[in-house]
Amino acid sequence: MLKKILFLISVLIFSVTVSFPQTVRVKIIETSDVHSAVFPYDLVNDRPSNSSLAQVSAFLKEQRADTNQIVFLLDNGDILQGDPVAYYYNFEKTDTLHLIADVMNYLKYDAATVGNHDIETGHEVYDRFDKEINFPWLSANAVNTTSEQPYFKPYTTVERSGVKIAILGLITPAIPKWLPEKIWSGIRFDDMIETAKKWVKKIKETEQPDLMIGLFHSGVDFTYGGENENSYKNENASRLIAERVNGFDLIFVGHDHAGWNFKTKSPSGKEVLILGTTSNAQNVAAASYTLQYDKICMIYDKKEITGELVSMKNYSPDPDFLKRYEKNFDEVKNFVNRPIGEFTESISSRDAIFGPSKFVDLIQNIQLNLTNADVSFTAPLSFNAGIDKGTVYVKDMFDLYRFENLLYTMELSGQEIKDCLEFSCGNWFNQMKEKTDNLLKFKLDENGNIKYSERTKSPELDERFYNYDAAAGIDYTVDVTKPIGEKVTIISFSNGKPFDLNSNYRVAINSYRGNGGGGHLTRGAKIPQTELSKRILNSTEKDLRYYLMKWIENEKVVTPKLSGNWKVIPDDYWNAGKEKDYKILFK
């Protein structure tokens, strides 16, 4: 009997040895924050680009041709927004298979996670997209409020050549701070750390994968936006999960466009590799594993774990990819090159970084026109973009307004309007003591020098430029010699009527800001997050870019001009600081 048992054991070990190689190389590739960069062409500026999924396709062919490795392909969200390609198939060409669904199916993605900008497109778009893709779209912490089950699939397992990987998807839970509820109606966004603990335990028990992977559309810096490691529903909790939840071998991150490649340790002391791309398919993140098969325990042991960011500019676009989607490219190009009106003056977003600008005032005037509001708030959504004098095309609208925000009309008191402006200007302008000081508020190192980004080598502003809100409909000054909270003086409405801090007014504001994005309403005006939705008097049905385009089409000829309703003082400080900082930012 004993001999028979030993014989069976030996047969089992032999069969395992034959079925599974003793050493296996695995490569797991992530794209993230592609923002619909499908083609190697900048459709807005009408010129070739050196990053796209066409280049990723060439890279994948190279990797899959290597028969000595097993390749898995994942995407980490924010692929349905950011480029005219996505806009066209989201909202214009809706009677066919979504191009990006077709592209991802063609590239044979194994799984993907939903991003906040994917949710931004609205139920009609992302629900349809989810049905059209041939792989699971993941988000364990996006919970259906009716069933109390994940709205999207929480995780998936993929087995290839005997290697089984489990992928848990999570999305940043900060979406309700940015997007109107009708866009994510029926979904609750739970805390990432709590959700990870729940699902990793279940996955380990039921799936027993060789590799446990987190695919998180969330960044690494958990202090961003004034949050900290204890903030509930932290926007960027990826690193916190790695260091607080046992079980992960690898966590892919996204959302922050920062580009990450480092290791940290779980509570048990196990090393966890954290990888993330930048954006627009400029690079892919690739994790390489050498797995050693343990014949006794019948599991793969992980050895030689490395990560890298692979630049796509070194790869020529895949000709098969370009040929397959040539007609789609031509169709979108024809769409963006459609003329919609004429500008009698050129405008540049550069001016808006330093104060009043024709670029921002054009948007302000359109918002006031559309809503009949008393006051309008907006910020430049492009850092370095311009629209030239002459014919204006659909593509120019993607420079004028980058995101698919709705336009709200909200009720705010005069004091709340002033507090929003103080908050914006306090994060925007430095307190100048001398004319030689910086006008803008830069991030400074311990020696008081301007900090430069390690990745881009560019100077870092203390606040993102798209949070530099200015107001229209009121006349006011911003004194850059005054401290935070004392910079803004509101004189009157621009029509001469008195402005009362204790009265309530109608305010035109985009949905990102109206839902708390940037903190102007919550941290500046001290309006509780739960109260914001009660302040909304009206909302557009379509995105603001659509209405900007229709307004220009109706006007036919537009003369962008400064409204002249606000200024930065003292004038000599402003001019000196502007000249200095312009050279720093745009040299």
Q: What is the pLDDT of residues 327-341, one digit of tens each?
A: 999 999 999 999 999
For the ranges 20-24, 251-255, 320-324, which has the lowest average pLDDT?
A: 20-24
Per-residue pLDDT averaged across 212-233, rounded?
Answer: 95
Cα 375 from Cα 506, distance rounded (Å): 7
Average pLDDT of the residues in 518-525: 96
The pair of structure tokens assigned to 276 is: 């993330």
The predicted structure's pLDDT at residue 297: 61
As a three-state string, the secondary structure of 142-158 is: EEECCCCCECCECEEEE
Is the confidence at residue 296, as pLDDT, over 90? no
What pLDDT does residue 162 have? 87
> What number is the average pLDDT over the span 399-419?
94
Q: Quick one: pLDDT band at residue 293, thresholds 50, 70, 90? A: confident
Position 11 scores a pLDDT of 43
| Residue tagged 């930048």 (tokens) | 278
**What are the chain's domains?**
20-332 (3.60.21.10), 338-586 (3.90.780.10)
Per-residue pLDDT band for 6 (boundaries 50, 70, 90) equals: very low
pLDDT at 17: 44
Residue 247's region, left for phi above 0, alpha for psi from -120 to 50, else beta, is left
Q: What is the C-alpha to C-alpha distance for residues 515 and 512, in angstroms, rounded to an integer? A: 5
| Distances from the Cα of 274 to the Cα of 219, 220, 251, 302, 434, angstroms | 10, 9, 5, 16, 44
Which of 349, 426, 412 shows the shortest CA–CA distance to 377?
412
User: Percent of the chain scored above 90 by pLDDT?
Assistant: 87
- Please report the pLDDT score of residue 337 as a whole number: 97
In this predicted structure, the answer to whether residue 15 has a pLDDT above a threshold of 50 is no
In the three-class reduction of DSSP (H, G, I as helix; E, B as strand; rest coil), residue 492 is classed as strand
- CA pseudo-torsion sign 171, 176, 179, 181: positive
The pLDDT of residue 20: 55
Residue with tokens 């690898």: 250
For the chain, how long is the longest CA-to-CA vector?
A: 103
Q: What is the pLDDT of residue 21?
A: 60
Asked whether the CA dihedral 224, 225, 226, 231 is positive or negative, the reply is negative
* Residue 305's pLDDT band (cuts 50, 70, 90): confident
Give mean pLDDT, residues 39-50: 95
Residue 225: the pLDDT is 83
Average of pLDDT values for 347-372? Answer: 96
Sign of CA dihedral 6, 12, 13, 15: positive
pLDDT of res. 295: 67
How far, in Å, CA of 528 to CA of 525, rounded?
A: 9
Q: How many angstroms separate the CA atoms of 332 and 260, rounded?
A: 33
pLDDT tens, 59-110? 999 999 999 999 999 999 999 999 999 999 999 999 999 999 999 999 999 9
pLDDT band at 578 (very low <50, low <70, confident <90, very high): very high
Residue 9 has a pLDDT of 47
The helix, strand and coil proportions of the chain, stated in percent and rounded to the nearest 5, come to: 35, 25, 40
Structure tokens, 16: 């395992």
Work out the mean pLDDT of the chain and round it to a whole number.
93
Distances (CA, A) of 544 to 185, 287, 364: 20, 40, 12
Question: Does the pLDDT value for residue 19 go beyond 90?
Answer: no
pLDDT tens column, 167-197: 999 999 999 989 989 899 999 999 999 999 9
pLDDT reported for residue 411: 98
pLDDT (tens digit per residue) in 475-515:
999 999 999 999 999 999 999 999 999 999 999 999 999 99
Concatenating the DSSP letter of every residue in 218-251 gives S-S-TTGGG--TT-TT-TT-HHHHHHHSTT-SEE
